[in-house]
Amino acid sequence: MLENEMLNMGMAAKRASYRLAGISTDVKNKALQAMAKALEEREEMILAANQVDMDEGRAKGLNNALLDRLLLTPERIKEMADGLRELVGLPDPVGEVTGMWTRPNGLRIGRMRVPLGVVGMIYEARPNVTVDAAGLCLKSGNAVILRGGSEALNSNIALANVISTAAVGAGIPEGAIQLVQRTDREAVNIMMRMNDYIDVLIPRGGAGLIRAVIDNATVPVLQTGVGNCHVYVEEDADLEMAVRIVVNAKTQRPGVCNAMETLLVHEEIAPQFLPVVSSALREKGVELRGCERTREILPDCLPATEEDWKNEYLALILAVKVVKDIEDAIEHINTYGTGHSEAIVTGSYEKACRFVQGVDAAAVLVNASTRFTDGYQFGFGAEIGISTQKLHARGPMGLQELTTTKFIIFGNGQVRS
Amino acid sequence: MLENEMLNMGMAAKRASYRLAGISTDVKNKALQAMAKALEEREEMILAANQVDMDEGRAKGLNNALLDRLLLTPERIKEMADGLRELVGLPDPVGEVTGMWTRPNGLRIGRMRVPLGVVGMIYEARPNVTVDAAGLCLKSGNAVILRGGSEALNSNIALANVISTAAVGAGIPEGAIQLVQRTDREAVNIMMRMNDYIDVLIPRGGAGLIRAVIDNATVPVLQTGVGNCHVYVEEDADLEMAVRIVVNAKTQRPGVCNAMETLLVHEEIAPQFLPVVSSALREKGVELRGCERTREILPDCLPATEEDWKNEYLALILAVKVVKDIEDAIEHINTYGTGHSEAIVTGSYEKACRFVQGVDAAAVLVNASTRFTDGYQFGFGAEIGISTQKLHARGPMGLQELTTTKFIIFGNGQVRS
C-alpha cells in the first residue's frame, strides 16, 4: 500500500529526527565529509544511473534546457561534493541560545535554536538538489524526505543511496535521508498531508509546482523562488550607473529568479535614459516590450500588454514602463511584483528611504543589481531556496532558516498564583 | 456576490496595510488610546448589542460555559480598553534593524523588521478577541480582517464599529480594521484562500476550528493553542516541590491550554509519590485515570485507555502513567504531546539537560509549572495566541511575532560579475 509506505517513511524520518537533534556538530561534519568522499568514489555508478535518465529523457523528447539540467558530469559531481565540504565550515545553528532573561519570580527563560524536525523537499529536474538539500538538512539537524522529478529518478536513487549510506556509516541515524522512489502523483499528495511526520515542505521548481504544493498541502510550506523583479530608475539617477545596473540585472544570468523582468523609468528622465539603455540592452540581445509612453520614445519597441507586467520571462525579454513618480513605481511593484527583489537607482536620500520603506519584498536594493539576492552574495553560505513568503523566512534561506526555537525555562519550584 | 464582497474587503485591507506600514508609532499609540476611550464611551450600545447575542444564545440553548464566554459586562469592557492602553506602552517592533553588515564589494546588507501585511483572524465565541486582535495588529502595523463566531455577531459588529471608527478618526487608514459580518461557512472558505490579500491566518478556538483552517487554507496559517501538556517526575525529584508543581499545573486553571493533562512518574519513585500526589489532587476534585502500574499503587484509580494519553481534557481530570525512565517519558511526550509545554521535576543536572534537549515542544520547563507559558508570564506583554507549530513563531506570540523582516541593501552601483 502506497499510503503505508509513505507513512513508514514519515515515521522513520520522525524517529531519526529526534536522535539527529542531539547529535554533535563533529559527527555531522564527519558525515558531510564522508558523503562528499563517497560521491567522488562512486562517480562511475552515479554517471551510469544518470545516463539511463538522459537516454529516457531524449527518448521522451525533453528539450535541451531540461536535458542540460538533468545531466551529471564528473565536474558536476565534484561541485556537489565540494558543496557538502563547504557546509562543514559553516557554523552549526543548533543549540544557540539567542537570549535569556530572568523574571521577577526567579524563572530564567531563554530561547534556544533547534532543528525543525523533518523537512519534505519536493523538486524538479536538477539532481544536485538531492545532495544540496540533504547536506543542508543534515547540518541543521533535520531529517529529510526527498521527492525529486520523475525524469531524474535513476540519478536521484543513485545519489541518495550513496550519501545516505555514507551518512549512516559516519554515525547518522537511519532514516535521516530518504528518497521517495515513487513518481506517481499520489505519493506526493500523501506526503503533502503528513502533518504528523513532516514539519515543513519546501517546493523547489517552477511556478506550477510551487502553486500545486500551496494549494494541496496541509503541512506548512516555505514558498520559494518565483521572482518578477523590477529596477526603478528615478529622475535624479546617475544614468551611467543605471545602465550598468539594468544591463546586469537583466542579462548577467537571465534564467534565474533574481533577474530583472520589468524596468520602470521616471517620466522626467525617460526621454534621455531609454534610448541609451535600450541600445545597451539590444547589444546583449534583449527584446523590449514597452508601455505607450515608452513606445513614443522608442518607436521600434514592441507593445507591452497586461500579461507582460505579470510575467517572469526568465529570458532575454524586458518589459518597460514609464511612471509618473516614485509612488507610481511603488504601486506598480506592489501590484505586480512577487515580493522577491526590487531595486531603485537614485541619487536622492529621500527617494531611497521612501522606496526601502514602501516596497513590500524580501529584498529591497538601492543602487545595486537585483542579482545580489542570494545566500552566497549575502554572506550566509549555501542556501536551500529564496523565500518569497512572509512567515518564518524571507529571502535567502540558509542553515538558520532550517531551524526553529524552543523556550527553555529553568525554575526552582515556581508555581503560578 | 459573496466572493466579490470578500475580495473587496481583502483589497481594502491590502491597500490599508501599505499605508499602515509607514505610520509612526505616535499615531498608532494615539489611535489605541482613542479606541480605548471610545469603548468606554459607547459601553451602553455595546452592552445592548451583547444582550441580543445573549438572548439568542439562551434561546438556542447554549450551555453556561459558552454563555459566560459570550457575556460582556462594564468590567469586561473596561478590561478590553485597558488591554489597548497597555499596548501603548509596549515597544513598536516595526523598523527595527536587527543586524547590518558590509560585504567585501562594499554592499551594506541589513535585516529590517516590517509588518506582515494583512492578518486574518478566525475565532470563536469570546468577543474580546475582536478588540485584542485589532489592537495587537494595529500596533504591529498590520491590517486585520476579523471573522468571529456567529453567536457573538452582534457584539462583534458593535465592538469593531466602535474601534475602527475611533482608529480612522485618529489617522489610521480606512480598511485597517474590518469585520466579516457574514457568518456563513462559505465566507470563511473564501477568506482562507485569499492568498493575494491575506498574508497570514490565525485561528483561535477549539481543536476543531484549528484543524478546519489547517485543512482548508492555502494562506499560511499560524497554528495556536491546543495543549496536551505533561509533567514528568524523576526519581530524584524533591517530592514536596513535585506535588506543588503537579497540583498547580492541573488545578490552578484547568480550562486553558497550558494546564497539565498527563502526569508521568518514574517507576522508582511512583510507590512513594503517587499516594501523596493523588490525595492532594483529589482534595482539589481531580479525577485520576491511570495505567496498570499506577492502579497497582492506587487501586481506586480509574483505568486509562489509549484515548486518555491523547486527550486535552481542559477539566479536572488527569491521566497518570508510570514510566521506566526519562527516555520512556520523552518518548511518551513526543508521541502524544501537542508541542505546547512540557515540564520535568528533577534534582539531577544531567536529567534536566536531557529533558530540555530531547523534548520537542514550544516550551520545556525544569522545576516549574506548565502554567507559566504565556506572553505576560514570559515578560512579552499581550499575546495573540500560543503557537504550537514550528514555522515563524513557537510559543507565545506577541507584537514581534506579528512582523516579518525584509533585507535592505545599500550600494553605490554594484553589479554582479
Residue pLDDT, tens place only, A168-211: 999 999 999 999 998 888 999 999 999 999 999 999 988 889 99
% of chain A surpassing 90 pLDDT: 91
pLDDT of residue A1: 81
Report pLDDT for B20: 97
- pLDDT the model gives residue B65: 84
Say whether residue A215 is in contact with chain B using an 8 A CB cutoff: yes
Q: Other C-beta atoms within 10 Å of B67: how many?
A: 16
What ipTM does the predicted assembly reach? 0.92
Q: Extract the C-alpha cell encoding A108.
A: 530564567
Query: Angle CA(A50)–CA(A53)–CA(A55) in degrees, nearest 5?
Result: 110
DSSP assigned state of B122: E
What distances in angstroms separate CA A407 from CA A269, B221, B267, B375, one per listed residue?
A: 54, 21, 28, 12
Suggest the residue from A284, A360, A394 to mutate for an interface test with chain B (most B CBs closer than 10 A): A360
Residue B237: which of B205, B210, B264 has the closest Cα? B264
Chain A CB contacts of B252 below 8 Å: 415-417
pLDDT at A31 over 80: yes
Closest listed residue to residue B308, CA positions, set B299, B300, B318, B298: B318
- Report residue B48 as a C-alpha cell: 445592548
pLDDT score recorded for residue B251: 97
Give yes or no for a contact between B265 and B321, defined as CB atoms under 8 angstroms apart.
yes
For residue B107, give the amino acid letter.
L
Residue B107: band (very low, low, confident or very high) from pLDDT cuts 50, 70, 90: very high
Q: For residues B148 and B65, is the Cβ–Cβ distance under 8 A?
A: no
Please state, as a whole number, how many other Cβ atoms lie within 10 Å of the Cβ of residue A106. 12
Partnered with residue A254 across adjacent β-strands are none
Nearest CA among A246, A202, A249 for reference residue A227: A249
Residue of B nearest to A258 (CA): B416
Q: How confident is the model at residue B381, as a pLDDT?
A: 82
Residue A206 vs residue B108, higher pLDDT: B108
In this prediction, residues A85-97 reach a mean pLDDT of 96
Asked if B404 is an interface residue toward chain A (Cβ–Cβ < 8 A), one would say yes
Considering only the beta carbons, identify the residue of A244, A364, A410 that sits closest to B408.
A364
pLDDT digit string, tens, across residues B18-60: 999 999 999 999 999 999 999 999 999 999 999 999 999 999 9
Residue in B21, B248, B352 closest to A415 by CB: B248
Is the pLDDT reported for residue A110 higher than 90?
A: yes
CA distance B96 to B232: 40
**Interchain contact B406–A (C-beta under 8 A):** yes
Beta bridge partners of A225: none
pLDDT tens digits, one per residue of B284-303: 999 999 999 999 999 999 99
Res. B207 pLDDT band, cuts 50 70 90: confident
Query: Mutating which of B335, B404, B417 best tests the A interface, going by the most A Cβ atoms within 10 A?
Result: B404
Q: How far apart are CA B378 and CA A102, in angstroms?
A: 9
Give pLDDT, residue B224. Answer: 85
Question: A393 pLDDT band (50/70/90 cuts)?
Answer: very high
Q: What is the pLDDT of residue B387?
A: 93
* Single-letter amino acid code for the residue at B89: G
DSSP classification of residue A400: G
Question: Looking up cell 489592537, which residue turns up?
Answer: B135
- CB contacts of B361 in chain A (<8 Å) are 406
Task: Report the distance separating Cα B306 and Cα B66, nearest Å.
Answer: 29
Whether B184 has a pLDDT exceeding 90, the answer reads: no
Q: Is B101 on the interface with A (CB under 8 A)?
A: yes
In this structure, how many other beta carbons lie within 10 angstroms of the beta carbon of residue A216? Answer: 15
In this structure, the number of other CB atoms found within 10 A of the CB of residue B325 comes to 13
DSSP for A302-326, please give it.
EEP-HHHHH----SSEEEEEEESSH
Question: Which set of grid coordinates corresponds to residue B19?
Answer: 499605508
Q: Does A389 touch chain B (CB under 8 A)?
A: yes
Q: How far does CA A340 lie from the centroid of its chain?
A: 10
Under DSSP, the state recorded for A402 is: G
Mean pLDDT of chain A: 96
Q: Report the pLDDT value the prediction gives residue B317, as an integer from 0 to 100.
A: 97
Residues in Cβ contact with B311 at an 8 Å cutoff, skipping those fewer than 6 apart:
B228, B261, B319
- Bridge partner residues of A110 (DSSP): A100, A408
Look up residue B226 and give its amino acid. Answer: V
Cβ contacts of A417 on chain B, cutoff 8 Å = 252
Q: What is the per-residue pLDDT for B349?
A: 97
Is the distance from CB of B282 to CB of B288 less than 8 angstroms?
yes
Q: Determine the distance in angstroms separating the CA of A280 from the nearest CA of chain B, rounded to an integer.
A: 15
**Whole-number pLDDT of residue A125:** 76
Confirm if A229 and A370 have CB atoms less than 8 A apart: yes
Cell of B227: 495543549
Higher pLDDT, A331 or A207: A331
Give per-residue pLDDT as tens, A206-262. 888 999 999 999 999 998 878 999 999 999 999 999 999 999 999 999 988 999 999
Q: Are strands B118-123 and B108-115 parallel, antiparallel or unpaired?
A: unpaired
Compute CA distances A297 → A155, A168, A320, A344, A363, whole Å: 51, 64, 11, 22, 31
Whether B390 has a pLDDT exceeding 90, the answer reads yes
Q: How many CB atoms lie within 10 A of CB B269?
A: 17
Separation between Cα atoms, residue A273 and residue A267, nearest integer Å: 10
Residues of B in contact with A364 (CB under 8 A): 406-409
Which of A415, A416, A411, A382 is CA-nearest to residue A399? A382
One-letter identity of residue A292: E
As a whole number of angstroms, the distance between CA B304 and CA A198 comes to 29
Distance separating alpha carbons of residues A257 and A370, to the nearest angstrom: 10
Query: What is the distance between the alpha carbons of residues A299 and B200, in angstroms, rounded to a whole number?
Result: 45
Search chain A and give the residue with CA nearest B392. Answer: A392
Mean per-residue pLDDT over chain B, rounded = 96
Report the helix count and the strand count for chain B, using DSSP H and E.
16, 16
pLDDT of B131: 97
Q: Which three cell numbers stand for residue A12?
A: 522513520
Q: Confirm if A258 and A373 have CB atoms less than 8 A apart.
A: yes
Whether residue A139 is predicted with pLDDT greater than 80 in this model: the reply is yes
The SS3 call for residue B233 is strand
What's the CA gap between B2 and B97, in Å, rounded?
Answer: 41
More confident site: B225 or B301: B301
Confidence at A65, pLDDT banded by 50, 70, 90: confident
Going from the N-terminus, what domains does chain B have, and what CATH number goes with each?
Answer: 2-223+393-410 (3.40.605.10), 229-377 (3.40.309.10)
Is the separation of the CB atoms in A355 and A231 below 8 Å?
A: no
Phi, psi of A345 (to 5 degrees): -115, 120
CA distance B339 to A352: 44
Q: Which of A116, A413, A417 sits opposite B390 (nearest CB)?
A: A116
State the average pLDDT over residues A268-289.
Answer: 98
